[in-house]
Amino acid sequence: MAGVALCEPCRLYNLLNQHRRLPRLAEPRYLCLLDARTQREYDESHIITARRIEESPTGEYLVPDSEELGCVRYCVVYDCETSSLDCCDFEEEEKEEDAEEGTAVHYARSLQQFTRHPVLILRGGYKRFSACYHFLRTQKILWMPQELDNFQLYPVEILPAKLYMGNFKQACDQQIQKDLKIKAQVNISEQPTTLFAEGGKYLHISVPDSLEANLFSSFATVCHFIDDQLDCGAVLVFSSLGISRSSTVTMAYLMHSCQFSLKRAWDYVLKCKMNMRPHRGFVKQLSDWEAQIYGTTITDISEPNY
């Protein structure tokens, strides 16, 4: 069996905001998001693109198309506020008090026999997710393919409610700035943006996305700027497409301020944004940054993954 695992709200947020050429939500085998709450709760509001889990007349959960589940990359289940996988070990009176907490776990266990990957259970359920990402709540049930193709994507979340990474278009979207409470921006594209909220802090490092470009000399400036601004609110790091330059300085920040090695920073950012890809020149500069911080090279960047 594939098993079950807890999924932090920020991970589901990032799964919802992935893209390749189009938003990944438009891919039929990418994400199956299932709501295990009551019909009334689901109708009142649910997470975008979620389907409600159906029950049989006898109260048993109905499994979605098993062939579909066998192909889907991410299957996420949520209820009201599940926070643990240990609900089955509670005493009977605790089960009665926290009956809703176990719904997602029980349903996830019934699905794991059909999936290739672990079934993910949203930690804190709908209650916690909607408190963090109220703008991803909806009453909409049916999504047409064209709607998913044009789905409004948000910057990915690197540090919960603190650090985000995105592209130039997202940086110019005032609703996104408001929803994420962005108080500072780090622009790593050549083009300046003029639509940032009045009073927000702004750092522009104009660097081309080329093998000859030098980002290394700006790493310290960016890291100190982000550290200074995080106490005031969230910071958005962005470049033209949000793939190469922005991910480079984001990794540099994690190495500087969170004591990550280059490998750990790489794996972390890749999990947040699956199509991030600094070019080889920036990878070498990150390796030099790692050596400067720690006094030695820790990560072997000759591996094919780099």
d(C-alpha 237, C-alpha 222), whole Å: 9
The pLDDT tens digits for 108-156 are 998 988 899 999 999 999 999 999 999 999 999 999 999 999 999 999 9
* Contact criterion met (CB below 8 Å) for 31 and 23: no
Res 86: pLDDT: 74
The pLDDT tens digits for 153-192 are 999 999 999 999 999 999 999 999 999 999 999 999 998 8
Angle between helix axes 9-16 and 125-132 (nearest 10 degrees) is: 60
Q: Tokens at residue 107, please?
A: 């349903």
pLDDT band at residue 198, thresholds of 50, 70 and 90?
A: low
Amino acid at 209: D
**pLDDT at position 100 over 50:** no
* Contact criterion met (CB below 8 Å) for 76 and 122: yes
The pLDDT tens digits for 24-80 are 999 989 999 999 999 999 999 999 999 998 877 776 667 677 778 889 999 999 999
d(C-alpha 302, C-alpha 294), whole Å: 19
Residue 169 CA neighbour count, 13 Å, CB half: 5
Compute φ and ψ for 196, nearest 5 degrees. Answer: -75, 150
Per-residue DSSP letter, 87: G
Radius of gyration of the chain (CA): 21
State mean pLDDT over 198-225: 92
**pLDDT at position 196 over 70:** no
pLDDT band at residue 281, thresholds of 50, 70 and 90?
A: very high
With CA atoms as reference, report the closest residue to 13 among 48, 52, 51.
Answer: 48
With CA atoms as reference, report the closest residue to 222 among 204, 234, 208.
Answer: 204
**pLDDT at position 89 over 50:** no
Domains of the chain (ranges plus CATH)?
Answer: 4-149 (3.40.250.10), 156-294 (3.90.190.10)
Res 23: pLDDT: 96
Res 199: pLDDT: 67
The pLDDT tens digits for 240-269 are 999 999 999 999 999 999 999 999 999 999
What's this model's pTM, rounded to 2 decimal places?
A: 0.91
State mean pLDDT over 83-103: 54
**pLDDT at position 90 over 50:** no
SS3 call for 165: strand
Res 83: pLDDT: 87
Query: What is the chain's mean pLDDT, rounded?
Result: 90
Res 119: pLDDT: 95
List 121's β-bridge partners, or say none.
6, 77
Q: How far from chain centre, in Å, is Cα 208?
A: 26
Residue 85 CA neighbour count, 13 Å, CB half: 12
Amino acid at 250: T
Q: Which of 83-92, 101-110, 296-305 has the lowest mean pLDDT?
A: 83-92
Res 76: pLDDT: 97
Q: How far from chain centre, in Å, is Cα 164?
A: 9
Report the first-to-last Cα separation within the chain, whole angstroms: 32
